[in-house]
Amino acid sequence: MSNTTSRNYRIGQIVPSSNTTMETEIPLMLRSRESMFSERFTFHSSRMRMKKVTAEELKAMDADSDRCALELSDARVDVLGYACLVAIMSMGLGYHRQSEKRLHEATAANGGAAPVVSSAGALVDGLHAMGAKKVSILTPYMKPLTQLVVDYIENEGIEVHDAVSLEIPDNLEVGRQNPLAPAEHVKRLNTSGVDAVVLSACVQMPSFQSVQQVENQLGLPVTTAAISTVYQMLKVLGLQRQVPDAGSLLSGRY
């Protein structure tokens, strides 16, 4: 496709200070589609302090997200992603709607209005887009936080059939996991009768390189919080929701 028709998009991300994965996986996915489409992307981040994945630190971190949205709107980004799923989910059922609205209003007030996508809302929306009514999920969290995620997803009308918690409290350690490890961990997950598998309900746990492999093995749609975030970003930008080897959600069918 001719570059004369290309457009450059600025992707903004609000990330926890200890997150090392979203600034890797989001560019990986969006750059990999450049062989198929003319759009080009640049990536811009602002950070909120968080080291341990605990309810207390998550709450304090979320309060910092408004500053990050304001900073990113200075760069006139085209879309803004809130890159921490459990921070949103730990703030109360349905909180992603409140967060997305508030952060969007912050960008608009600064003269740089941008749509806001949260990984929490994107995961739910992506599962709905695929028509998934029952799922099984893999998380790196301690079990109480995984239960928060389960409750949040179920409150959005999707049954969680099974959940496996890797119980890694240190967020940096989560980011150091091998991206092929979820393909092994998923063997502990009961996927009988489910419509889809969430291979990583956490944007910090590397997983992209496992997704297509697991989907092919299970014969089920497989997604992650990061993949869902890319899907939602492309959707709000009005772009084709397609990335090679990224599972069903980004196959172009939805």
Active site members: 84, 202
* Side chain identity at residue 37, one-letter code: F
Neighbouring CB atoms inside 10 A of 52's CB total: 12
Q: How far is CA 56 from CA 141, 147, 155, 210, in A?
A: 14, 16, 22, 31
**Residue closest to 26 by CA, chosen among 243, 171, 182, 198:** 243
